[in-house]
A and B are shown apart, each in its own frame.
Chain A
Amino acid sequence: MGLGRQFEAEFIRLFRDRFAGLFQYLARLTGDVDTASDLAQDAFIQLYQRGDLPNDLGPWLVTVAHNRWRDQQRSQQRRLRLLDAHPGSVPAPTAGDGADVMVEAAERRARVQAVLERLPEREKQLLLLHHSGYSYREIALILPIAETSVGTLLRRAGAAFRQAYEDSHGTPD
């Protein structure tokens, strides 16, 4: 079965445009860069195997990755690993940062990730999807919820996140 040239060209373009964004969202969601990389690759592999483009590509890719992530969690009984529980999984800061800055950045990441983990899964996904640039319509397709509810739920999730952060660490800088 040969894949059309048009699809191939489109796939290359989409991979270049969207892989990084999908990976960032998944890294925030899972708190683990290796898992995020695997999930993002799996989503693109499934797209390639499909051989044509779905109508809503962004939501389609995220939904595939969500399903894989759920399967992984189920089958391996793994818990979400917080970055602060495994300091080794915090990505290395860029060269040139001072040691204090590196430690502070890692601690800050761990703090934010830990607060996110305390939110219900859907609120966490809602916040992270929006922060990763997905529109209300796309978020509604992914979660799935009514598009008219996205604003209200987002407001609630943002308030819960901010409150949880303040309870643990005080007002954000």
Chain B
Amino acid sequence: MAHLIDSELLAAEHGELTPGATAQVRSHLERCGLCSERFERLRGEQRDIGGLLDVLTFPVPSVSLDTIRRRARRPRRLVRAAAAIGTLVALASAAAAMPRSPVRAWLARIWAVAPEAAPATPRVADPISPTAGIAVSASAGVTIELLHGQEGGLIQVILADRPDVTARAVGGDVGYRVGRERIVMDNRTPAKQYEIELPRRIPEATVRVGGRVLWRLSDGREPFGNDTVRISLSLQRGRVP
């Protein structure tokens, strides 16, 4: 009588066999003491493994469908904008490539005057004082990101009756960069305190530090006691009500 192999026994235990194959395994186990013993040992091992892994059960976060929908729609707008810009660039390139095209001359003229006509807006604003900060308009949501993790310090988040989001570092030598619904603070030389003001009605806000989400405000809002939340950076993951 050929004995069953471990993977067959395991598949039977996991309910992965067809009804016919399951019946065959069962019938074999009734007749074969050796396989039956191995099967029981295997089941015991599986119970042990399952018991250990059961320890890793986590409370499921409350995520609203609206949050998923809103975040899903954002990139589509960006893709459409990028496609439109790409089409324009392609058309301009094609026009410039045509023999005796005036487009080349126009582009050369624009290129020549552009730096004077439209000085680039600095994307990184060096703080002009120890408490300088930056503000962006963000009605749909905002992410405030401190690029580097730091051992100590405090982030104070305040809900305010104002239309824009502001972020500032108190002390330190922090650089700022803004993007679409995003403020990035380069805290290589860290500040002891950061202050973030959010419009009261903002639907979503996230604070990330060193690449990890430290705090999040979403539709299922965390209660703001007196409109202020203090997040200790020494806790790294702390959510202090």
Contact = CB atoms under 8 A, between A and B. Distances in A.
B14 A130 contact: yes
A45 B68 contact: yes
A91 B58 contact: yes
A158 interface: yes
A130 to B, nearest CB: 7
Given A41-B67, A41-B68, A86-B236, A49 B75 contact: yes
Interface string B53-88: 101111111010101110110011000000000000
A24 B57 contact: yes
Interface residues of A, number: 53
Interface string B71-110: 1100110000000000000000000000000000000000
A117 to B, nearest CB: 12
Interface stretch (A54-62, A63-71, A147-155): A147-155
B72 A45 contact: yes
Contacts of B71: 41, 45
B contact face: mostly helix, strand, loop, or mixed: helix
B37 interface: no
Contact of B237 (A88, A135, A155, A172): A88
Contacts of B236: 86, 88
B130 interface: no
Interface stretch (B41-49, B153-161, B162-170, B180-188): B41-49
Nearest to B13: A151
B115 interface: no
A36 interface: yes
Interface residues of B, number: 38
A34 B10 CA distance: 34
B11 A33 contact: no
Contacts of A88: 235-238
Interface in B110-147: none
A173 B237 CA distance: 31
A78 B211 contact: yes
B11 A108 contact: no
Contacts of A44: 68
Contact of A38 (B11, B58, B76, B213): B213
A76 interface: yes
18 contacts: A1-B76, A19-B63, A34-B212, A34-B237, A45-B71, A86-B236, A86-B237, A105-B55, A108-B55, A112-B55, A112-B56, A127-B49, A136-B16, A151-B8, A151-B11, A155-B10, A158-B45, A159-B45
Interface of A: 1, 12, 15, 19-20, 23-24, 27-28, 32-38, 40-41, 44-46, 48-49, 76, 78, 86, 88-89, 91-92, 105, 108-109, 112-113, 115, 127-128, 130-131, 135-136, 151-152, 154-155, 158-159, 161-162, 165, 172-173
Given A36-B58, A173-B51, 5 more contacts: A15-B68, A34-B212, A44-B68, A151-B14, A158-B46
